[in-house]
Chain A
């Protein structure tokens, strides 16, 4: 150790919308270390990594790699130089085999033809050298999430990456899978690779890192040896204050007891001949939060699409919202019954980016009487309502006419939540409601969800963040492979290890136990 492999000197990045993502960042990375970069969501970690990997170029400052100043024009240059990156969202072609995915862009050739045998041999060799336990001829679509991640890592190793950037690698893994990944990372370190580990889960960071760099609001708060920092000091560095107590839980109001906001019975959905939802039954009661845990891609997305009416494929089963059968209804009809929906894909589904905040604040109830006159829309009322919502939800903006895509992720999410809140819902679907936003905004969103619950709204919470599900929910369902694998009547009496077993498919409850999701 001791040899510097990568050095950042006064690196600054300003995005075209004026956001300063990074400011005068100085950092050094040593060969053969596991170096974590921590910070809140939106602190500027991802931007920094994108600059190292050549996806973005710094507005000013220099990056020195192996003693030479580098200006990567694209990630291709970075890969050639020996830098690999595993993105939070996998960059794989599902219909290709593992080999095809790995060699793509760097194929072994035999004259002008692809040398398939050599490709398989070389890929398998790299895989075996690092104990990946992968069959490289398998199709990627058939692999589990953890295995897909292995393929991503293998892709970087195949290209002889010495420096590997892992962007939030554990966010899609169960606790058990995370443990395995860490073993692997330690073995990479022994073989001389440098690991840049990005995460906002501090326990994991403490567990794996040699050194830790902290970023807050785009500014570096220094690099520390892991053993010289306590958890409290680290938290303090990251958010600049002590973390407040957990979400205050109110008691569920008895008034709403057993009134159902939504009932789903025997929901089945097939996609390309494969069942993605398999006899899912559950009920969301008024005044409760029903949490759905599970590794991404186990049917949660399809479930939400069916309930909201966005799914185009015909499903079987019954979906009742506020005691009304919704069969044949589109999303408009279901919203009219009292459904609200915070979508996972905030930028894609949740906003019209270039339009002002005021337009975005009313889209789901723009026909309502209080913002319309007979012929036209009442712009004064729209201004009033959007300004009120900006105030109540503490959206940081200069005016309600600012285009929504110039806000930070956390503030955009507040706009989405404020709008859905103002639809006066009876039943709300909250899909990854705090994914990728800063702690302050996340806390705020959590409080609003609880406030809604206490006022009698039934909330279906879908989240890949186990802590979120465990903190907010009254009851918990675990989904695995399109089915409900486990149901927990009391969210307070369950551990993350226990949930992890169900998320992995290692445990499965009996139909009677699972039936509680509908009947309790």
Chain B
């Protein structure tokens, strides 16, 4: 028995190995296609690709920018990962980010405390409570009225951005410029750096801790077990005595809290006032893509977030060197990788041929 356990199948027929191989090949293909495009539009394609891949490492400022900007995306990805893993197609992260931004602004624009430690914490709490409560709505409506959570969550995204605009305009509107945005935050609300040259803030530490906690929840805890069960076969989870309703509420709350944390990190480090149509737009949706890239695994998601932000930084550096290459080229890389790894058929024929051979060999005994 013990010998049997030790035997690890490293061939492509092992689904886990297959996943990794598929991921690596997808990235290589995406880079190859990028290179082809660079050959068409750039006079110096080799310099271009080298800049994209190594540019962010050339200056501390560049890598610092990657470190700072990937944090909210990682939180967003973690939130989407929990939801998808539990089988909920809740696309509400985008709206939750925007509406928690309002809560953060409301706390940050009022001098509730003079403590530079307490003020950001209050902002976080406001965002977490907002996110955690509002994320429940699609799951609750699904469980109680059988509505489709995807439709509801997308609808709520629009509603929340409208509500955000309304609240900012009505209660927090800036008087200094004509844009629709909040007043400046009080200085005490802002989060400073621990190590300024690399722009390392307490947010990074929070992200690392959160990632570890999420990993433990997903793979070691009873809650994670329930999420895996319900996400792969909800009927089986019900049969086993797991309450689908309770589980959907708990996962939604967790996802909402993660979104609230992400929004706080973004606003309190990188902005000094809140623009509801700008400051947090797009982070929620990107999180869903990151969750796909990271295969709903917390660590995979955070790594994916870092890599994507790294590539984005690389292309924007390239733009200074080579004006012919638009920074949107990173979207091509992203798109191809996601398309390939989410494709059921990509490399499947190859794997099946292997399986056929192995199956026949085993069968022949």
Give A contacts to B, CB under 8 Å: 14, 16-20, 23, 59, 218, 310, 330-332, 335, 341, 343, 348-355, 359, 363-364, 366-367, 372, 375-377, 379, 383, 387, 391, 398-400, 403
- Residues of the A chain whose Cβ atoms lie less than 8 Å from the Cβ of B4: 398-399
User: With the chains together, A14 CA to B13 CA distance in Å?
Assistant: 14
The reply to whether B5 and A376 form a contact with Cβ atoms under 8 Å apart is no
When each residue 27-66 of chain B gets 1 if its CB lies under 8 Å from chain A and 0 otherwise, what string results? 0000000000000000000000000000000000000000
Cβ distance A187 to chain B, nearest Cβ, rounded Å: 41
Contact B240 A364 (CB under 8 A): yes
A350 to B5, CA, bound (A): 25
Q: Which 9 A-B pairs have the closest CB atoms?
A: A332-B241, A363-B240, A352-B232, A352-B233, A376-B220, A18-B355, A14-B356, A18-B359, A349-B239
Interface of A is mostly: loop
A399 to B9, CA, bound (A): 11
Q: Are A352 and B1 in contact (CB under 8 A)?
A: no
Specify the chain A residue showing the minimal Cβ separation from B357. Answer: A14
Q: A359 to chain B: which residues have CB within 8 Å?
A: 225, 228-229
19 cross-chain CB contacts under 8 A: A18-B358, A19-B359, A59-B356, A310-B238, A331-B239, A348-B233, A348-B235, A350-B236, A352-B237, A353-B233, A359-B225, A359-B229, A363-B236, A363-B242, A366-B222, A375-B221, A379-B220, A387-B5, A403-B15
Partner-A contacts on B (CB < 8 A): 1, 4-5, 7, 9, 13, 15, 216, 220-222, 225, 228-229, 232-233, 235-243, 348, 351-352, 355-356, 358-360, 362-363
Tell me the nearest residue of chain B to A367, going by C-beta: B222
Query: Contacts A23-B363, A359-B225 given; 18 further ones with Cβ under 8 A?
Result: A14-B359, A16-B348, A17-B355, A20-B363, A218-B363, A331-B239, A332-B242, A352-B228, A352-B236, A352-B237, A354-B232, A355-B232, A359-B229, A363-B229, A363-B237, A376-B220, A377-B220, A398-B4
Give chain B residues whose Cβ lies under 8 Å from the Cβ of A372.
Answer: 222
- B222 → chain A, closest Cβ, in Å? 6
A353 neighbours in B (Cβ, 8 Å): 232-233
User: How far apart are the CA atoms of A400 and B355 in the complex, in Å?
Assistant: 20
Bound Cα distance A14, B357 (Å): 9
Q: A20-B363, A310-B238, A331-B238 are in contact. Are A352 and B5 (CB under 8 A)?
A: no
What is the minimal beta-carbon distance from A298 to any residue of chain B, in angstroms?
Answer: 23
A335 to B243, CA, bound (A): 13
Q: Whole-angstrom distance between the alpha carbons of A356 and B170 in the complex? A: 54
Residues of B within 8 A of A403 (CB): 15
| A372–B220 CA distance with the chains assembled, in angstroms | 10
A20-B240 CB under 8 A given contacts A375-B221, A391-B1, A399-B5: no
In the complex, what distance in Å separates the CA atom of A364 from the CA atom of B15? 26
Q: Inside 8 A of B360's CB, which chain A residues have their CB?
A: 14, 20, 23
Residue of B nearest to A333 (CB): B241
Q: Which residues of B contact A332 (CB under 8 A)?
A: 241-243
- Specify the chain A residue showing the minimal Cβ separation from B228: A355
Highest count of chain A CB atoms <10 Å: which of B15, B228, B232:
B232
